[in-house]
Amino acid sequence: MKKMKDLSYHYGLKMRIYPSTQQKQLIKLNSDIARTVYNKLIAIDQELYQLNRVKLPLDVVTNRIDELKKRKNPKNLSNHFKYMDNKLLDRQVISTAKQTYQNAWNMYKKVHTAGIPKFHKKGYVEKYQTSAHYGKKAEMNVFDATGVKFLDMQHIQLPKLGSDTPFVAKKRTTDSQVGVDLNTENFLTSSNGAQIANPRYYRTIKGKLAKAQRKLSRRQLRAKKDGRNLRNAKNYQKQRLVVAKLQARVRRQRNNFLHKVSTALINNHDLVVAENLRGKNMLKNHALAMSISDVGWRTFLQMMEYKANLYGRTFITVDPKNTTQICSDCGFIMGKDGSSKLTLADRKWTCPNCHKHHIRDWNAAKNILAKGLAKIA
């Protein structure tokens, strides 16, 4: 097998992590220090620039220049600013921040429009860089790195943050099992008869978003007509931001809703069963597909899966075949023996075999749970 060092390039992986509260604090600390280092280096260089302009041979000046030059070394930096000498810091953080600063200068030398490095403001997003190290003998394998490495397909280990699971305690068993039917009239119906309505946020914001998007395309057309580059079309750019912000708001609210629902289900039940969406035949029905992308079922199922994993619960999906059409009491399948199949319009029905009265989605949720139980039995 090829070794890592034999490769002409290394490619990156983008992945989402779910840090615990402690890990979030560590990320913040590291990001704060990375930003501070970057800014200190700018300050040092600015002072050096001013001092170098003093042409008189003054001892005070030459001593200060020597001192500042020494301080730029990452090691001396943390000696001087004691808070940078913190055991909770990733060892790479200070040297990586210095590297970033150097890269900013290199970029300036290549492309002058990039500007000289500027102070980094404290932002909304916490970020810092660290790097994986591969030993000389390391093979071409992401599990082989030190510092940053994958423990398995679901866990990544980062310096100081450790791996993602140990901070999460297993939940107490609840002796409760539930099936959930995802449908379009409400968000979901559970096998114990509870309904969760579709979130309203989308309907309220939808009008606003559509209006903003119309305005955006009008401005795009106008710029095109005048032969202006969109980059320089100020009003277009302003409106683009307005649309992006509205879209971000919808996304945030939707995720918030999905997190709340999935966490509640995982908290309250040992076993949760849902339908897999593959069998749902959604894409054939455009209206249905639209509302599915609105309510975010796919994201919801993903959340259920990783949360179940995290808290030691069981989450499984079953084939949705006939879950709507079967009577959960006697097992009669609608569409057989001269009966007609239920349609989306039939919200309530009575079983022709045992005469039990059903609410469609509730009945479906019961069938889903039964299928799940049969699957793990």
Catalytic positions, please?
Answer: 181, 275, 361
CB-facing half-sphere around the CA of 131: CA atoms within 13 A? 12
Whole-angstrom distance, CA of residue 159 vs CA of residue 163: 9
First to last CA, the chain: 43
Whole-angstrom distance, CA of residue 70 vs CA of residue 79: 11
Measured from the CB atom, is 100 or 353 closer to Zn ion? 353
Tokens 């890269």 locate to 103
The size of the chain, in residues, is 377
Nearest alpha carbon to residue 334 among 318, 344, 319, 349: 349
Secondary element (H or E) of residue 302: helix 297-311
Binding span for Zn ion by CB under 5 A among 111-119, 246-254, 312-320, 350-358: 350-358
Measured from the CB atom, is 129 or 353 closer to Zn ion? 353
User: Binding-site residue total for Zn ion (CB under 5 A)?
Assistant: 8
Measured from the CB atom, is 69 or 355 closer to Zn ion? 355
Whole-angstrom distance, CA of residue 125 vs CA of residue 131: 19
Binding span for Zn ion by CB under 5 A among 23-31, 288-296, 300-308, 351-359: 351-359
- Smallest distance from Zn ion to CB 330, Å: 3
- Smallest distance from Zn ion to CB 258, Å: 34
Pull the structure tokens for residue 251. Answer: 């996304």
Whole-angstrom distance, CA of residue 345 vs CA of residue 363: 15
Binding span for Zn ion by CB under 5 A among 3-11, 264-272, 318-326, 331-339: 331-339
Q: Using CB under 5 A, pick the residue from 151, 330, 333, 376 that binds Zn ion.
A: 330
Q: Using CB under 5 A, pick the residue from 71, 259, 353, 373 that binds Zn ion.
A: 353
Residues 6+ apart with CB under 8 A from 97: 33, 34, 35, 37, 38, 41, 128, 129
Residues 203-262 binding Zn ion (CB under 5 A) are none
Pull the structure tokens for residue 310. Answer: 């995290």
User: Helix, strand, or coil here: 348?
Assistant: strand
Q: Using CB under 5 A, pick the residue from 116, 290, 354, 376 that binds Zn ion.
A: 354
Our finding on whether 322 is near Zn ion (CB under 5 A) is no
Q: Using CB under 5 A, pick the residue from 32, 144, 305, 329 that binds Zn ion.
A: 329
Binding span for Zn ion by CB under 5 A among 181-189, 193-201, 315-323, 355-363: 355-363
Measured from the CB atom, is 120 or 356 closer to Zn ion? 356
The residues of the shown chain that bind Zn ion, judged by CB under 5 A, are 327, 329-330, 332, 351, 353-354, 356
